[in-house]
A and B are shown apart, each in its own frame.
Chain A
Amino acid sequence: MNVIKVHNISKSFGRLCAVCDLSFEVEEGTCFGLLGPNGAGKTTMMKMIYGRSSRDNHDGGTISVFGYDPAREELAIKYLSGVVPQENNLDDELNVIQNLMIYSKFYSLPGKVARERIEVLLDFLELSEKVLSPIKELSGGMQRRLVIARALLNNPRLLILDEPTTGLDPQVRHLIWDKLRQLRAQRTTILLTTHYMEEAFQICDTVLIMDKGRRVLEDNPQRLLRENIEAYVLEVPITDGTPALREPDVPCGIRVDHTEASLRFYAQDLEPLKSLADRLSDHPYYLRQTTLEDVFLRATGRALNEKQ
């Protein structure tokens, strides 16, 4: 069963095509990640799903969320969904529980139900001790968790998160990932945007890599890694003198990526890279497994776009 169905959706701002003919579907109870550099169209795509952004009408694209069209039935979709926007936007004047009580009215929750639900959610996000704290006294990580708690007020069947862990420290990031995994285990469907490859790898069942509004790759993250890039990479910086290696010397089966600041050698096996590294004598190098980040950079290129 697919909760979200996006077919041939485009969105232009003037001449700029923010999302171009994009299609994807998200299965119930899975975590789907939109991955891409800034300006790739991730947030725009996400906003079209809950009716905060309008899609181009001329080319017959369709969006269906729980069977509802966000252009006409945004209320039904938003009632079943929780949204964590990119910025925290809590009400600074109020404390933690007041912030949540205000939002419980939007879902028409009776006071008693709301208070019980808030207690459970604050416990779930490890904020119970902060019930009466003013927002200004919360750290960035706590504020983020509070916004997530706010999005969970109505027990959403779909949770939409725009860059949930940007700017947070590793402890908080791992905590949030744990919580998202728990929600997914309870059959909550999760749609998130991120530009952390690690995040996509950790929690997403499917990743869609976007660039300039278009789909570049889409698959399970492990499979993306396996099928789109070699298993190992040897990175050699060129900043402190050119290393004693020239591309013609490299044995076949090793792919070379030459940029201004470094040489990267990719191979399916570790051994040939090791022997290559031995020939570097004292020159610094870094031999490691490839990550989703390497796939991403290979797919979207290393050059910066105008929004980065």
Chain B
Amino acid sequence: MRSNSPATYPALAQRLYSVWYRHVRVYTKNLVSNGLPPFLEPLLFLAGVGLGLARYITQSMEGLSYIEFLGTGLLVTAAMFTAAYECTFGTFIRLEFEKVYDGMLAAPITVNDLIIGEILWAGTKGVFFTFAVLTVLAAFRIIHLPQGLLAPLVGFLTGVMFATLSLWITSFVKTIQHFNFYFTGIISPMFFFSGVVFPVSDLPPQVRFLAELLPLTHCVRLSRAVSIGAYSPFLLASLAYAVLFIAVTGWLAIRRLRRRLIR
């Protein structure tokens, strides 16, 4: 019965695209409620901090005014939060409650296609969220175009990093409440100690190396560099960290989620 011609099925790129396309369609279905907050949030943040707090902070940070310093960090924290939510709560709901993956895995895609498609989608959301912050920052002349236009690429990298990490975390989670530990214990501390709200160099020397281990530290460094056009060879180390981080956590996530999806 087996035909002599080789097996036919869609190529890898088409398979990844179809997973990505599914997420795009579902996300854009509620365009206003999904698409507006990414613009409003940085607006609120900058209004609150810029009008209020920043007036008291006159010292420059890494050569930037406080509002510039903070804004260039918020570019990637937006990407971090969206990817982390997407690949924890979002993934868990699709996996356990809506059983969306049961339907998708009946179509000609593999578990690897499914997970890599999720990661690419989280990266895409990273681009969009960073772009939204960039729009606000550019409107208030905090960032100058066109050099800031590279920031969404860092947003993609950040989205992918936090997608792989979050999927790996999700592979351990049995009940959805457990994600609270991840957000309170890992994501929130990262927001405060990765050089977003104050420079990493101000940390006590004993714990500074810890900040260097955090993925967000490197995302912020890259984002700030491309935003103000200040490049240094040290950025290559951050880029290398990002690639290595994605490779390791991505591999762990796929390996564990595969065991959960194919039993």
Contact = CB atoms under 8 A, between A and B. Distances in A.
Interface in B33-49: none
A79 B109 CA distance: 9
B205 to A, nearest CB: 50
A101 B24 CA distance: 13
Given A89-B102, A151-B106, A1 B1 contact: yes
Nearest to B2: A67
A105 B9 contact: no
Contacts of A67: 1-3
B109 A106 contact: yes
Interface string B149-179: 0000000000000000000000000000000
Contact of B26 (A28, A73, A75, A91): A91
A150 B103 CA distance: 9
11 contacts: A2-B1, A52-B262, A67-B3, A75-B9, A86-B102, A91-B100, A93-B29, A102-B25, A105-B21, A107-B108, A150-B103
B175 to A, nearest CB: 20
Given A53-B262, A93-B30, A102-B22, 7 more contacts: A66-B1, A68-B2, A76-B7, A83-B106, A87-B99, A87-B102, A103-B107
Given A94-B29, A105-B18, A106-B15, A76 B9 contact: yes
A130 interface: no
Interface in B73-125: 98-100, 102-110
A76 B3 CA distance: 11
Interface in B188-203: none
B52 interface: no
B185 interface: no
A91 B103 CA distance: 10
Interface in A70-114: 73-76, 78-79, 82-87, 89-94, 98, 101-103, 105-108
Given A75-B9, A108-B10, A52 B106 contact: yes
A258 B58 CA distance: 92
A85 B15 CA distance: 20
Contacts of A300: none
Contacts, number: 98
Nearest to A5: B1
Given A66-B1, A89-B98, A106-B15, A98 B105 contact: no
A286 interface: no
Contact of B18 (A3, A51, A93, A106): A106
A51 B112 CA distance: 13
Nearest to A153: B107
Contacts of A66: 1-2
B7 A85 contact: no
A89 B110 contact: no
A187 to B, nearest CB: 13
A75 B106 contact: no
B106 A68 contact: no
What is the size category of the interface that chain A forms with chain B? Answer: 35 or more
B236 to A, nearest CB: 38
B29 to A, nearest CB: 5
A228 B103 CA distance: 38
A220 interface: no
B55 interface: no
B263 interface: yes
Contacts of B98: 89, 92
B23 to A, nearest CB: 10
B59 interface: no
Contacts of B3: 67
A50 B21 CA distance: 23
A54 interface: yes
A-B pairs with lowest CB-CB distance, top 6: A67-B2, A76-B7, A83-B106, A106-B107, A105-B18, A79-B9
Given A76-B7, A89-B98, A102 B108 contact: no
B17 interface: yes
B99 A106 contact: no
Contacts of A13: 263
Given A91-B100, A94-B25, A78 B30 contact: no
Interface string A139-153: 000000001001100
A3 B2 CA distance: 10
Contacts of B106: 50, 52, 78, 82-85, 151
B147 interface: no
A76 B8 contact: yes
